[in-house]
Amino acid sequence: MDLVLSEPEIRVLGSLVEKETTTPDYYPLTLNALVNACNQKTNREPVVSYDEDDVRDALDGLREKDLVIICGPRDSRVPKYDNYLADKLGLTPAEVAVMCVLLLRGPQTPGELRARTERMHAFEELSEIEATLDGLASREESPLVARLPRQPGRKEYRYAHMLGGEVALDSTGGLGEPDSPTESTREKIERLEAEIEELRREFAEFKKQFE
């Protein structure tokens, strides 16, 4: 497709899309809030450590592609940023939620997508996710997702977004690093506790901006 984003642009765009839905009271985002959103340790794969210059450069690129705008009063000393992903690509709320998770977490199975889009859009059945993915993959002019070959030993296919260009498969028939082993109950609990703590920290940081 003609629209090709760099990795920082993908992370910045995904972060804006996510926060628009999950923390609407604190959206649009300031540069500082967006840096924090990009560098979250939860719901991000891989975890990154961008500084303000990295995010500002990505924002400039996204503005040139009409995917981001600066909004708020012209005389404001603290500009805020909004995304135009849905408008630019003509996406439904369900499609936005799926694209957001793919942008932030890389290739996912339909089951993973259903669980990880819950805060943005409620898919009642797995078939709804599959239908959404099929629609994104079958767009005539510009398919937005691609189904990856099934990995050895796995039952489900994974899907990847195509906003970074053509999807490059590795020798295992997947994309990127191999999946982690199945989590134990203790690991799941520890991961969830870490995610809750990160959300609390993130909420406190957003709240300070309006005090």
- CATH fold of 105-179: Arc Repressor Mutant, subunit A (1.10.10)
On whether the pTM is more than 0.95, the answer is no
**Dist. CA 112–CA 172, nearest whole Å:** 20
pLDDT tens-digit map of 83-140: 999 999 999 999 999 999 999 999 999 999 999 999 999 999 999 999 999 999 999 8
Residues listed for the chain: 211
C-alpha closest to that of 83 among 95, 98, 107, 100: 100
What does the pLDDT read at residue 150?
A: 85
The CATH code of domain 7-87+192-208 reads 1.10.10.10
Q: Region 55-79: what's the mean pLDDT?
A: 90
Structural domain spans, the chain: 7-87+192-208, 105-179
